[in-house]
Structure 1
Amino acid sequence: MNPFRSLRVRNFRLFVAGQILSVAGTWMMVVAQDWLVLDLSDDSASALAVVTALQFTPSLLLMLVGGRLADRYDKRLLLTAANVASGVVASVFAVLVLSGGVTLWQIQLFALALGVVSAVETPTRMAFISELVGPELLPNASALSAAYFNVARVVGPALAGALIAAVDAGPVMLLNAVSYLATVVGLRMMRPEELRRTARPAARARIIDGVRYVRSREDLLLPLVLVGAVGLCAMNFQLTLPLLARTVFHTDAAAFGLLTTAFAGGSLLAALVTTGRRTRPSAELVNGAALGLGVVMTLTGWAPTFATAAVGLFATGFAVIFFAQAANHRIQLGSDPAFRGRVMSIYSTIMIGSTPLGSLLVGALAEAVNARATMWFGGAASLVAVGAVHAAGRRARDGRPLPEPAELAQNA
């Protein structure tokens, strides 16, 4: 079985090539942005938490709108427009950083602007993959998408750390701005007649219809609740990793890049492992993946040295992507194509949109205790969430009505 079989599709090859370069640039920017914030704020966890919250708040507020747009309009055109907009915003920010006069409020504004564009781009990109390869190759293409994301996540931070140490953050920001062109070129080189498009709904695509559809499907609702709990409490690594590097192990930017690379290396391995998936994952696999994440994250919080922390973060990165891919495939492969854009926007809203709340919570915890406590908290919360969702699933199989989502969240 060829783990790269989706790459036989020309349009998907173009998409992957553009995304690898663009996402590598994005991760270089993330490392540089976080290091700038810590430099300007005297290593303040709260300041970094605010920037992270601003970057992801638009996902919480606008991603359902992005999903509606993805179901209603040409996804290739939407992605082109989103990447052009991101490139313009990133170029302006790069000029500010290169001038040497960038301030904290300007970083916050930049993070918010990119977050707005991402709220449209993310659900559109996730739904677009099925148009590139069709349903039979969707699990493989989704896993390869996670793989290229994490290839970029390995290369980007390591290169960013070295560049920041050598030439400062400005050139890193400029490279990120240029990298968006790779995705735009790939999208425009595609052959539209080879896209596997479904008929657009004759009626207006309404957000509330997508919400009702998910609420009626227990097999979609429960993994979404689990994604929400884990995303809120555990998936705040953009905040946790720089704090571990800077306040626990007292390292420089290059070493911070290595920690991020270790995390991404584990994520890449998990993405490659899941390329062989051909069918929809079971609920037990999704729950088991979240359980494994809770265990390794808690143990990593106790890592006594930089080297053991890197090993623990490698394992944590593997667990994060294995869980995210299992949940993604269970939700996406179980969704009606007519609702897929809106369903994946709900998934993305929960996965990414929980970050603003989680980052503020984790930032406060790091200020009150230390950065290690954020890992312990995320791991323990994941374990509790798995127990609550597993119990709800057994209740549904026994023929009893599911508790309301708010009750599930409270139990988690």
Structure 2
Amino acid sequence: MYFPGGIYGIGKGLGALLEKVFHLLSGYAEFQVEGDGPRFFNITAKSRIGLWGYRRREGLPVARIKAREYKKLRGVYRRSGSRPRLLKKRGAPFLIHRLEARKGLLLGALCGGALYWFLSGFLWGVSVTGTQLMPPSRVLEAAARQGLYQGCAQREMNPRGAALGILSELPELSWAGISTDGCFAEIAVKEGEPKPQPEEEAGWSNIVASREGKVVEIQAQSGRPEVKLGEAVERGQLLISGLYEEEQDPWAEPNPNPLQVTGPARGSVTAETWRTFTVQVSGMKKEWVETGETESSYSLYLLGLRLPLSLPLAPGEGRAYREEHPLKALGTKLPVSLRREARIVCAQQERALTEEEQKAQALLKLREIQRGEIAPGGRVLEEELEFHFTEGMCILEAKCLCREEIGELQKVLVD
């Protein structure tokens, strides 16, 4: 079967490629003939001087010759009466000759290649994916303790062992895997569902009032309510009983052996309570004011190694911040960065607060106290506020009607 341009075409193309590679390795010169071109080429053919790459440039013939045979053309030029014009020299011999004249360039290329080979044996960056609630910094710290960090030697890495170590250190994770791509590593993790906490062994208990109030809501999940809606209760009063007898029907014959119920009391009792809060704030306030001075310290980070470029910041008061400028190549962060740690110097000053500012400070402090003392889920329904200013201070008295949980679990000890 005949294939157009088949084996012969492939052989010809391969031969041309090999010939081109040979000429590049041995070196060649391209020249232009000015004068009697036909006579020049006839003499070179009779002298068995190999030429190729014939073409015309500005109407004059151009050809190529092996570098080591170029000197043979001198006699041909004299006999033909033409003049040569060298256009270019190409190939490995000329490149090596130029590099010999520029030893610094050659040395730099060798050093660059050696540096590239050396740096490729280290880990340039570590990233974390898959975290939701857990901060990635915790995963990176656990990985560093397992020998996986920016700047570690790749030959000493054990991705499987590091992944198992991360799982053992972070029980919140259900899975961890490490993949490498060249000089970069990625830690993929999956957070697991938190394990349910085992309930404490149920014992006998009651629910009593933690403070005085008027009952507005009762939810008894286990046990019998001992109070009614709208009833006023005192601190320590029984609200839900976990130990009680079966109630007898007043219209039936009394049961000599009523049912005795014992167990834990579970439920919620919400009441309206009155609370009184007293708050004091000073009429003077100390503030940190920026002086306009800035202190800076520079460091160079290379593969996780810190190289200080200046003295560290001395201890002092101020607003500190950090700037990091990583080196990038083709959109990829390299493990080389310049870090600037700066602090804006601040000085402490004292100033007098206006009455409105004192009221705002007192209200802010009151809200903090209310959040700490009122039971979780409770809220303030009404409040009466009285401000008093005396001796450079603001005193706030607040009478609050609150709605909050007053049930408190009280265990019953039985010998």
Which protein has the bigger helix share?
Answer: 1
> Of the two structures, which has the highest relative contact order with CA contacts closer than 8 Å and spacing of 6 or more?
1
Instruction: Please tell me the TM-score bracket, short chain as reference.
Output: under 0.3
Larger radius of gyration: 2
TM score, norm. by length of structure 1 = 0.18
TM score, norm. by length of structure 2 = 0.18
